[in-house]
Amino acid sequence: MDGYSRLVAWLKVLLPLMALVLLSTLFLLSRNIVPIASLPFADTEIDERLRGQQITTPFFSGTTDSGDRVVISAGKMATRSELGNEADNFSAQIDLTSGTRINLTADRGQFDMSRNASTFEGNVLIFTSSGYYIKSDELIGEFDELSLVSPGPVVGTGPFGTVDAGQMRLRRDGADSNAHLLFTNGVKLVYTPKIEKSD
């Protein structure tokens, strides 16, 4: 038997043995696993989860009686027996049959599925594809027949200029009519005419 054959024979024995030694050191040097470890939740978050059912990133979609498409979503929604459903990072997208899109965002809100109604609260922002940008503290939406009402003051800008009003309402008067944005209760309008550039 020459030297090369003897080397191959020894390696056939030594290499598997070295592999076993390496595997055994992995198990010997591994960290001890604590069978009962604390869950990665703060005490307040556990209490909140125990008080009511909670859904992460929920969304609801449907259409109004007039065919407008409504999608409502939130970062988190929890059920409160005394207050109904409460949500944070509340938002909605409404696609009107006329082609206009309305986007709503708010810090928090409530959604009542039995009434198909929502309340947006805290830093409510309203954007429309027709060029309106409106801010309010609260907005109440009813989606069987499209109705959005801001019971308190609003400030905003639009294609015409700027507006301040004590109340705002977006509604459709009939199934075949277009939705209209109405400002009431002390309206201050600053009209900004468009200046066309001459060639």
Domain ranges for the chain: 56-191
Write the secondary structure of the chain as one string of H (helix), E (strand) and C (coil): CCHHHHHHHHHHHHHHHHHHHHHHHHHHHCCCCCCCCCCCCCHHHHHHHHHCCEEECCEEEEECCCCCEEEEECCEEEEECCCEEEEEEEEEEEECCCCCEEEEEEEEEEEECCCCEEEEEEEEEEEECCCCEEEEEEEEEECCCCEEEECCCEEEEECCEEEEECEEEEEECCCCCCEEEEEECCCEEEECCCCCCCC
- Going residue by residue through the chain, which has 199 residues, state the pLDDT in tens, using 9 for 90 and above: 677 788 778 878 888 888 888 877 777 766 665 555 555 656 666 666 666 577 788 888 888 888 889 999 988 887 765 556 788 889 999 998 888 899 999 999 888 777 778 899 989 999 999 888 999 999 999 888 888 999 999 999 988 889 999 999 988 766 566 788 888 998 898 888 777 666 5
CATH class given for the domain over 56-191: mainly beta
